Amino acid sequence: MSLTTSPYILYSDGNGTIFEDTSLYVVGRSGWDAYPIPVEEFIQLPEGGQLYELVGRRGIGIDVQTGEMRLCQKGWAVAAFVPPAHTSFYIAAYETGPDAPTLPLFCYTAVGWHDDKFYVPATRVEQDIRQESAGFDEVLVSQGVEALQKAYPHNRLVKHLAQNCALTYHCPAARNYFIGRWECPIPSSPACNANCIGCISFQPEDESIVSPQDRLLFKPTVEEIVEYTVPHLETAPFPIVSFGQGCEGEPLLMWETLRQSILEIRRHTQKGSININTNGSKPDAVKALCEAGLNSIRVSTNSVRREIYMPYYRPNNYDFNDIIESLKVVNGYGGWTSINYFVFPGMTDSVDEYEALRTVIRDTGLNMIQWRSFNIDPDWYLGKIGVTETGEVMGLKQMMELLKEEFPALRYGYFNPPIERIRGNYDLDFAHQ
Ligand code: SF4
């Protein structure tokens, strides 16, 4: 049901209790500015969503009586974490106090209250249900962890996926592996050739925030990779095995091991899809993986403008143009190409970014955009990459619609598609998997 009036702003008492302030309507942030949110862009906060109190920050709202924008002085600002498969159109709008701590690596979406419900400006971009919070039965996960560790007692990767990923980080990909379904992770690289400001597996000592995961501490062997992935491809519904996870560095630095693993996997099974999530830094290595049998690639990026990409990724020994080249290479081999697009309202939907993205889609033959809300403190991010002015913006909803009109074959989503979608009916009925 779409709203007819704006929801009210929320605030927290600083002890984790959240209230609505009916004297103020909620607004949204784009770049450095606050804007009224069109009511048709709100959806109810989806299941699995969470609320954050933003210590040291005062929410900005529109006065219900005067229509003026002003601060909510009743408590700290509140933002929402919008669950996977959804993309946020606006960041929470607030004024940051001088002693406010840097926020951890989550996404901070605007959120309001209306008719006893929470509302967020967002849209569902993915019908695949692989990370629905309601879909995880912890008993099944524990049973899988026990059974598969027993089946592969000497496999360091299976032990890492069990003890760290599934049981400590609660990684949905690892938990799906232990339930025997869908996408199975293959972390492989302890090192990286980039230094992303918001890296989720490594944060420098002098940074005030910590990475939500630790990086893998060993280099897996071909045997360790093949041992558990072939049975997964053979038995799981809609099976995918994916190199490149949040608990490692850059998998392309291990390309020789990955190449041998792909060849060995395909010697045992032709089922499913072999995918790599990567920063796309080494097109030559990508070529070698395509020749070995790689089916799809997902290149992560905060922007398709070199001047926005380089200050964020801070690459050691590659350039922005290399990631574009990697997409072209996979397209040339007939593989599926996606970008893992870190969506930041005000940056992603700037006219300059839109024009650059049209060029990238045309030049690379891109198949899919995975619209991922950027998990980062907005002030910290813009400050670190030196952006004081974001330029003209068009609104994320409009940008997504315009691109769809111009590139009708371009797919939107949130997850790497299985081979059944890549080669068959893309609009599979995921509800009955
Ligand atoms: S490419 Fe990935 S692992 Fe490397 S620094 Fe960036 S986020 Fe971290």
Residue 429 has what pLDDT?
Answer: 64
Ligand 1: atom nearest CA of 192 is 4
* 168 touches ligand 1 (CB under 6 Å): no
In the structure encoding, which two tokens stand for residue 264, read together?
């060995």
Q: Over 70: is that where the pLDDT of 90 sits?
A: yes
* 258 touches ligand 1 (CB under 6 Å): no
* 195 touches ligand 1 (CB under 6 Å): yes
Contact 294, 330 (CB under 8 A): yes
Contact 409, 260 (CB under 8 A): no
Q: Over 70: is that where the pLDDT of 349 sits?
A: yes
* Backbone dihedral angles phi then psi of residue 162, each to the nearest 5 degrees: -75, -60
Residues linked to residue 112 through DSSP beta bridges, in sequence order? 119
The mean pLDDT of 354-380, rounded to a whole number, is: 98
Contact 229, 158 (CB under 8 A): no
Ligand 1 center to 198 CA (angstroms): 8
User: Tokens 């900005």 sit at which residue?
Assistant: 60
Contact 196, 312 (CB under 8 A): yes
Using DSSP bridges, classify how beta strands 240-243 and 183-186 pair: parallel, antiparallel or unpaired: parallel
Residue 427 has what pLDDT?
Answer: 75
Cα distance between residue 131 and residue 61, in whole Å: 33
> Which band of pLDDT confidence, cut at 50, 70 and 90, is reported for residue 424?
confident
Q: Over 80: is that where the pLDDT of 428 sits?
A: no
* 249 touches ligand 1 (CB under 6 Å): yes
Using DSSP bridges, classify how beta strands 57-63 and 18-30 pair: parallel, antiparallel or unpaired: antiparallel
The 10s digit of each residue's pLDDT in 267-309 is: 999 999 999 999 999 999 999 999 999 999 999 999 999 999 9
Cα distance between residue 302 and residue 297, in whole Å: 17
Contact 47, 33 (CB under 8 A): no
Residue 420 has what pLDDT?
Answer: 94
The 10s digit of each residue's pLDDT in 305-329 is: 999 999 999 999 999 999 999 999 9
Cα distance between residue 76 and residue 40, in whole Å: 27
Ligand 1 center to 151 CA (angstroms): 32
The 10s digit of each residue's pLDDT in 219-262 is: 999 999 999 999 999 999 999 999 998 889 999 999 999 999 99
Residue 345 has what pLDDT?
Answer: 98
By most ligand atoms within 8 Å of CB, the mutation choice from 199, 207, 323 for ligand 1 is 199
Report the candidate in 223, 204, 279, 221 with the shortest Cα–Cα distance to residue 246: 279
Nearest CA to ligand 1 atom 6: 196
Using DSSP bridges, classify how beta strands 336-343 and 368-373 pair: parallel, antiparallel or unpaired: parallel
The mean pLDDT of 325-343, rounded to a whole number, is: 98
Q: Over 70: is that where the pLDDT of 87 sits?
A: yes
Q: Over 70: is that where the pLDDT of 431 sits?
A: no
The mean pLDDT of 86-93, rounded to a whole number, is: 98
Q: Over 90: is that where the pLDDT of 425 sits?
A: no
By most ligand atoms within 8 Å of CB, the mutation choice from 195, 279, 282, 384 for ligand 1 is 279
* 323 touches ligand 1 (CB under 6 Å): no
The mean pLDDT of 104-130, rounded to a whole number, is: 96
* 201 touches ligand 1 (CB under 6 Å): yes
Cα distance between residue 306 and residue 309, in whole Å: 5
Q: How far is CA 98 from the centre of its chain?
A: 30
One-letter amino acid identity for 372? R
Q: What is the mean pLDDT of the chain?
A: 96
The 10s digit of each residue's pLDDT in 133-189 is: 889 999 999 999 999 999 999 999 999 999 999 999 999 999 999 999 999 999 999
Q: Helix, strand or coil for residue 115? A: coil
Q: Over 70: is that where the pLDDT of 432 sits?
A: no
The 10s digit of each residue's pLDDT in 29-51 is: 999 999 999 999 999 999 999 99
Ligand 1 center to 128 CA (angstroms): 26
Residue 177 has what pLDDT?
Answer: 98
> Which band of pLDDT confidence, cut at 50, 70 and 90, is reported for residue 3?
confident
Q: Helix, strand or coil for residue 142? A: helix
Residue 430 has what pLDDT?
Answer: 59
Q: Over 70: is that where the pLDDT of 218 sits?
A: yes
* 103 touches ligand 1 (CB under 6 Å): no
Nearest CA to ligand 1 atom 7: 199
DSSP state of 272: S
Using DSSP bridges, classify how beta strands 76-81 and 33-36 pair: parallel, antiparallel or unpaired: unpaired
Contact 273, 240 (CB under 8 A): yes
In the structure encoding, which two tokens stand for residue 72, read together?
């909510």
Ligand 1 center to 194 CA (angstroms): 6
Report the candidate in 428, 324, 426, 411 with the shortest Cα–Cα distance to residue 369: 411
In the structure encoding, which two tokens stand for residue 29, read together?
């942030």
Domains belonging to the chain, first-starting first, are 8-124 (no CATH), 133-432 (3.20.20.70)
Longest Cα pair distance anywhere in the chain, in angstroms?
70
Q: How far is CA 245 from the centre of its chain?
A: 11
* 250 touches ligand 1 (CB under 6 Å): yes
By most ligand atoms within 8 Å of CB, the mutation choice from 189, 192, 320 for ligand 1 is 192
* 199 touches ligand 1 (CB under 6 Å): yes
The percentage of the chain sitting over the pLDDT mark of 90, rounded to a whole number, equals 94
> Which band of pLDDT confidence, cut at 50, 70 and 90, is reported for residue 406?
very high
